[in-house]
Structure formats: structure tokens, C-alpha cells
With several copies, the nearest count.
Chain A
């Protein structure tokens, strides 16, 4: 394994922020740490980056124990949530900043590498612009370029899209994924946005209260959530009590039909969402949500009595 977290634990005074965490990450893999705020995901990232010393446990990168190395000695760079661009420098000064401290680059070689990097992130025309004058998406790209130019073995990302608006977030997400595939870099990605984690990750580590709740591919986790917490956190879920049994079922896995299925209910509300319509159906005392694809939707009315079936 390329990057190993072994029994990683961090205590602050009496609070255990991260408890006995074990994760193995392959080379070139993109792994998300996903969880609500305060779940320990950022603390974990800081321990990998070296900004926090673990109370117990090890961080092993490419066979070498880096647990006690200073951040600057690790072949790891971080893109911070706030981007942390140097406000008094222009784009190329920001991107090239790290190269100044790498002896192997002559001034000319450094300049060429900066140009190449700016080209890659599509900011060639902004080289001399001050970073504070850029849009959120452009600042984001500068932060990436500045981190990637050092050819780190691992790139850490701390909620990098949280300052962007919805459409731009989706666009940047795709760009980063492309970039990651192209240069085959190992990335660890902290987020609280489940959609982001699903769409970008090779694997997701779901955390809560400082411990790992589930590790798996996006599909694993979405289709086989280990417990109610994971099911609720990733996507929407109906918790339906049928006699003694409790069923966790996704809204898109419910169909509405007029034939008798034994599960009878009444439509109390509907919301058109474009690709599908969400029906709010009251079954006994419980209300469930069913997402009916617009292609198969038979346009049931509010007040109508219907049967549901599970798929």
C-alpha cells in the first residue's frame, strides 16, 4: 500500500478527535474523507500533512514512516479551503513560490515549469494578475497549480470547493477529476458534501465522532450503507417500519402503481424536480418519499390513493 494510516489517534485535552483510524490508500487513488462537521476528517488530514502530531499511531508513505517528519519534509502538499494564496504576489509568483526552495530548478527552468503549469490549469493569460483580483474558480486553480508544481506524492484537499457556487462547483469537480486521472496523483479529499464525494472518489471513508463508520466505493456505500447514519448522510433514505422489520429504502427505488401490492398509501404532496418528481406518500402514520422518473411518471394527483412497490 502507498499511504497507510495505522491506528491514527488524536486527543485534544480530554476530547478524542480521531480514534484508532486505519486506512490503506493505493497509489493514484482518490479517497474522500466524508462526514459531518466535527467528525475528525480535517484533523485526520492535518495529521497526514504534518500540521498536527498524532497522539498515537503512524503515517507511512511509500514504505517510509513519516509520522514525525515536519510538514515541509513530507512529499505532500495541501490545498486549503481558503486557498491560502499569498495576497501580495501575482499568479505566477504564487505558483512558482515553492520552486524557489528546490535547488534543482534554475530560474529559467522554474519559469518554464510555472508557464507549463499555468497552461495546464488554463490561467496562462492571468500570469501577472494579482491573485486577489481573480474569481473564486481561478483562485482555486492557482492553489492547485501551486501545490501540483512540486510533484508531491500525495495531494491533500480540505473542502476545496466550499467557497464556490453550485454550477462552478460541479465544473471544478470535473476539472480536478480530469487532472487527477491525467497526472495519476494520489489525492485525499475532505468534504461534507455527499454528492461531491460520490461523484469524484474512487473510495469514500465515512467518518463520525472521530471513528470510521464505513469504507468503500461510492456504489458500495450508496447501495449497502452499513447503518442508518450512513444511509441518511449519503443521499436521501426512507426509514419504513413494516411490522417488526425496519426497511431502509431510497426514494428512487420505490414505484407507484394502481395494482394492489399490499402497501397502500395516499399522495399528500408532490414536487416536480425535472428529471423526476418526488411524491410524498402517507402510509399509515409514516410519510415516505418516492422519486418517480419523468419517463415512467403517470402524473398521480395529490389526494389520490395508490399502492407502492419496492424495487
Chain B
């Protein structure tokens, strides 16, 4: 008991020191362009729904970023998950794709941006659905194919690796047992193989979402972006609103942590049998 309390107290020392240092430096420097006051940042959160100097409100930017990341993530998962599962299931499929995938892996997802822009240009969901000009068009125009593609790329590699590794490492005796007990190949695949590979698959999905979030924020910082958290912090910097930059960074961190937390919950719920 007393040890647990002591540990909790210790763990707060550095964060508190950090905040104090920030407060002291902010006051000493007295230059909000370099280091804003803490209460200024807190104030931004209090007035989160304001439209900050034309950059849009914080919740709006978060929602745009979230929708973007989920669109790209879904595309990435839809391709990577079945591919990974089949690569783990059949050695021949793994042979077919693994060299190709490993050749592309060391290219950071963001490097594809210029090529992808050349392909899709500024085409967006708005272009695709032919939404007429208006607020709806402005909203749908946020979801550019180029961005979805990049986020999909960022998602792809962790997910495909996790799924292939997971399925490949399901003990062979588990499958043989199910076979002897009379399960069809289809049943073995869906009711034995996938659930038993579950923890590794989830782990891949988790890594993929983290990577997707990182890519998204970076992609939004590139020229041409008109909304989202990445856009918010870059343009807040250009407008010398460092307090807004800090606010944006905190939002990015919190949303990233929450996205990751989804998987912690899923893991605990679904795979409690892993706990030994």
C-alpha cells in the first residue's frame, strides 16, 4: 500500500516540475510567441468551440482529423488484414508477397505524398460524389484521396505483419485437433485460426492505428491542407499563435492516446484468456 502511494507520488514529480518550469520560463521570457502562459493554453480549451482566427474550432478540427484517419485506416485494414491472414495461413501466399512488401516497408509512408498527389491531385470525396458547391462540398472536400491513400499506407505494414505473424504462429496441433474433431476448413479458419491469432492481430491493428494517426497529422501539416489538427498547429505557428500550437499538440496527444486506449479495452475484454 504505502509503496504504491509513494510510487504514484514519485511519478508526478517530473510532470509537475515540467509545468513549473514552463510557468517560470513563460513569465521570465514574457514572449508568447516562444512560450505562451499556461492559463492562455487552458483558456483555449475553455473556449474550444470558438473559431480561432479563421482556423476553425478545435472540435471541428479534431472531427475532420478523426474522420480522415478512420477513412484511411479502414482502407488500409481492408487490404492488409485479409492479405496478412492469408499470408500467415498459406506459405505460398506469404512467399508471393513478402519480398514485395519488405521492399516497400522501409519507405516512410509520407514519402509517397508527392507521387500520390500526382495521381489523385486534389480529388476528394466531394469530387467523387459530385457534391455541388456549398458548405457540404467544403466539408467533403476535406477528405482527399491522396490523404486517405497515405494513411492507408501507414496502416498497412503493422497490420499485415501482425496478422501474418499471428496466424502463422497458431500451434499446428490446434488446427489438427479441430480437424480430427470434424470441423470443416471454413470453421477451422474462422472459429479456430482467427480467434487464436486474435491477440497478435489486435496488436497489429493497434500499431497500424498509431502509425496512421502519426501519418495523418504529418500529412495535414503539408502545404495544401485546409483543416485538421496538423493544419491547425502549422497555421497557428504561421500566425505566431504559439498558445494555439501548444493547444493543438495537446489535442493530438490526447486523441492519439484515446485511439490507442480503444485497443487496450478490446484486448482486456476479448482476450482475457491471455492473462496468465
Contact = CB atoms under 8 A, between A and B. Distances in A.
Direct A–B contact present (CB less than 8 angstroms): yes
Interface of A: 49, 51, 70-72, 74, 76-78, 80-82, 84, 86-88, 97-98, 100-102, 130-133, 146, 150
A84 B196 contact: no
B177 A80 contact: yes
B179 interface: yes
B253 interface: no
Interface of B: 171, 173-174, 176-184, 192, 195-196, 198, 271-274, 276
B183 A101 contact: yes
| Chain A CB within 10 A, most for which of B173, B177, B180 | B180
Contacts of B180: 49, 71-72, 74, 76-78, 98
Contact of A84 (B177, B183, B195, B198): B177
Given A88-B195, A130-B273, A80 B182 contact: no
B182 A101 contact: yes
B174 A72 contact: no
Contact of B174 (A76, A86, A133): A86
A49 B173 CA distance: 12
A51 B182 contact: no
A84 B274 CA distance: 15
The 8 A-B pairs at the shortest CB distance, nearest first, are namely A101-B182, A98-B181, A84-B173, A88-B195, A84-B177, A80-B173, A132-B273, A130-B273
Nearest to A49: B180
* Majority-rule SS of A interface residues: mixed
A84 B176 contact: yes
A84 B276 contact: no
A132 B274 contact: yes
Given A71-B179, A102-B182, 18 more contacts: A49-B176, A70-B179, A71-B176, A77-B180, A77-B181, A81-B173, A84-B174, A84-B177, A86-B177, A86-B195, A86-B196, A88-B196, A88-B198, A98-B181, A98-B182, A130-B272, A132-B274, A146-B181
A100 B192 CA distance: 14
21 contacts: A70-B179, A72-B179, A72-B182, A74-B180, A76-B180, A77-B180, A82-B171, A84-B171, A84-B173, A86-B178, A86-B192, A87-B273, A88-B196, A98-B180, A98-B181, A101-B183, A102-B182, A131-B273, A133-B273, A150-B181, A150-B182
A257 to B, nearest CB: 49
Contacts of B181: 72, 77, 97-98, 101, 146, 150
A101 B184 CA distance: 9
A97 B178 CA distance: 8
Contacts of B192: 86
Nearest to B275: A132
| Chain B CB within 10 A, most for which of A71, A78, A84 | A84
A78 B179 contact: no
A233 B181 CA distance: 35
Contacts of B273: 87-88, 130-133
Contacts of B274: 87, 132
A102 B181 CA distance: 9
Contacts of B179: 70-72
Contacts of A77: 180-181
A100 B178 CA distance: 11
Given A97-B178, A130-B272, A132-B273, A82 B173 contact: yes
